[in-house]
A = this chain, B = another copy of it.
Amino acid sequence: MPLRLSRSEAKARTRKRLLSAAAEVFAEQGFAGASVDEIAFRAGHTVGALYSHFAGKNELFLTLFDERVSHPLDHVGEIASQWEGDETTFAAFGAYLAGVADHHTVRSTLEMEFLRYALTRPELLDRLAARWWAPRAAVARLVAPHCGGHDPALVATAIIGLFEGLVMQRRVDRAAVPPQLFTESLRWLMAGLARTPVRPADPLPEPR
């Protein structure tokens, strides 16, 4: 590893710093509230550098949307490879997600801002929806053997919903959501699958 960075390495480093700073500021201030000046400043640069890497504030935001915000549950694959439906895996899964709630705060706040931003932009909402397929499928594969006949995709959606909702509540009030609840509630849900009769899929048409 050379002491001095090559031109392209320096450029890549600048870009990376800008993206990290942008993630922070967008999360804290929202899209409209974030100023390109502050983003550049936090990255240790000025607007000039920012505009040489990105066409503008919008493109910077969308680049972040595409490149940087992998969903927390993307990493579920790491845990899936060891899954046995046993206590160890439950605990690992729960601990991992409690950690997400406490430490990946910029990422999850930024995800919220993407959602709000996308809600008024249909084409972005589609891309956001597509983003959830992979983690949902990963969780579905993980739990399929323990679904007791219920649709693994729906079980996965419920599990992801459960964790997203717990993460959200824990960010508001840590005391209300002890870390063990991530594990416990997953256990409750999985135990209930076996005890619940399987119903016909989608007996009602999608309303409206």
Q: Assess whether A55 is interfacial by the CB under 8 Å rule.
A: no
Residue-wise, chain A 169-208 has the 8 Å CB interface mask toward B (1 for contact) of 1011111111111001101111111111001001110111
Q: Pick from A1-9, A41-49, A109-117 the stretch touching chain B.
A: A109-117
Can you name 13 A-B residue pairings with CB atoms under 8 Å?
A: A28-B119, A112-B116, A129-B173, A161-B166, A161-B169, A161-B185, A162-B185, A179-B206, A179-B207, A180-B199, A187-B196, A188-B196, A195-B195
Main secondary structure of the interface of A (DSSP, over half): helix
The one of B172, B193, B199 in contact with A129, judged by C-beta atoms closer than 8 angstroms, is B172
We find that the number of chain A residues with CB closer than 8 angstroms to chain B is 69
The one of B132, B164, B173, B185 in contact with A164, judged by C-beta atoms closer than 8 angstroms, is B164
- B-binding residues in A (CB < 8 A): 27-34, 102, 105, 109, 112-113, 115-120, 125, 128-129, 132, 136, 150, 153-155, 157-158, 160-166, 168-169, 171-181, 184-185, 187-196, 199, 202-204, 206-208
| Whole-angstrom distance between the Cβ of A47 and the nearest chain B Cβ | 18
| Whole-angstrom distance between the Cβ of A134 and the nearest chain B Cβ | 12
Q: How far is the CA of A207 from the CA of B182 in the complex (A)?
A: 14
Q: How far is the CA of A193 from the CA of B184 in the complex (A)?
A: 10
Inter-subunit contact B162/A132 (CB<8 Å): no
Q: How far is the CA of A129 from the CA of B177 in the complex (A)?
A: 11
